[in-house]
Amino acid sequence: MNNTESSHKKNSIIGIAIRVSLVMIVLCGIIYPTVSTGVAQVIFPNQANGSMVKDGEGKVVGSELIGQTFTNPAFFQGRVSSIENNGAGSGSNNYAPSNPELVKRIQESMVAWEAANPDVPLEQLPIDLVTNSGSGLDPDISPASAKAQIPRISKLTGLDQAELQKLVDLHTKERDLGVFGEPRVNVLLLNIDLGKIVKK
């Protein structure tokens, strides 16, 4: 093979590589994302837009997928979040159970719990109320965690504990397909309905 043929073959290979790259850029970088986004917007518009939650006035107040910090003790509280429920990132400190920082954080959470919930013994404090989720953004708590907060909320709002338990039961989702995950309560959705009752 002479130099001319070698150069021609090399140019041909480069040309093919460029054409394939351009086709893949158009196909994977433009067509596929556009079609996927369009289909998602038609079939699952709420999920495709972040599962946003609106109040009675149509104002966005959060997402079903990201936890929030509720400072008003008259509302249900969610899980501890080392990242302050910042949706810009996820993750939590991967501390071992023996890590002093983890022990200190849990002890502080337990002290805060005792101060805010004097009617509920510390032995009845569900573990998910004093520990992070893996992402630090978990929007859900266990039904037991919601139930443990009912005495405090009843005292602060004047609502009957049985009425609050019915509200928790209404917002309790069972395991997906009956086997996956754990029963859970979305704190944001629960507090929105609680707010509606309190305002009446």
Q: What is the pLDDT of residues 83-106, one digit of tens each?
A: 777 777 777 777 777 888 888 888
69 and 137 both lie in a single domain = yes
Q: How far apart are CA 126 and CA 30, in angstroms?
A: 48
What residues make up the domain containing 23? 3-46
Helix (H, G, I), strand (E, B) or coil at 185: strand
Structure tokens at 132: 């992070």
Tell me, yes or no, whether 102 and 177 share the same domain. yes
Model confidence, pTM: 0.77
Regarding whether 59 and 35 lie in a shared domain, the answer is no
* Mean predicted lDDT score pLDDT of the chain: 87
Are 64 and 138 within one domain? yes
Residue 156 has a pLDDT of 94
Structure confidence at residue 173 (pLDDT): 94
